[in-house]
Amino acid sequence: KQEVTQIPAALSVPEGENLVLNCSFTDSAIYNLQWFRQDPGKGLTSLLLIQSSQREQTSGRLNASLDKSSGRSTLYIAASQPGDSATYLCAVRPSNAGNMLTFGGGTRLMVKP
């Protein structure tokens, strides 16, 4: 059974810092990995999707890497801003099943002005 873990569970940083969020998964048979952002009480906004054959994806100040063999992904946020404050979730899609996602518990990020 696939298990996804995110560390740390919560993070508080001053504005301007570069930061790294970690995601690990137990079964490397994945089709893709996706990072989402969730504001309090809201739905999920997709940030980056990495296919299993890819090593990284970039969008603006965000960069996500994937090491499938070791079961790890990182989300790097450059020059953090108060508007980045949210919960960040990673999710994996299995390579041998339908289109269902297994999520980690999330990292709650607070960027202080």
Contact positions vs other proteins (CB under 8 A): 4, 6, 31, 34, 36, 41-46, 49, 89, 91, 95-106
Q: How far is the CB of 51 from other proteins (least distance, A)?
A: 9
Q: How far is the CB of 101 from other proteins (least distance, A)?
A: 7
Exposed (0-12), middle (13-18) or buried (19+): which is 103, by Cβ within 10 Å? middle
Q: How far is the CB of 14 from other proteins (least distance, A)?
A: 24
Query: For other proteins, which is the closer residue by CB, 99 or 113?
Result: 99
Query: For other proteins, which is the closer residue by CB, 13 or 94?
Result: 94
Rg (C-alpha) for the chain, rounded Å, is 14
- Cα–Cα distance for residue pair 33/83, rounded to 1 Å: 24
Phi and psi, residue 84, nearest 5°: -80, -10
Query: For other proteins, which is the closer residue by CB, 15 or 39?
Result: 39
Would you call 54 helix, strand, or coil by DSSP?
Answer: coil
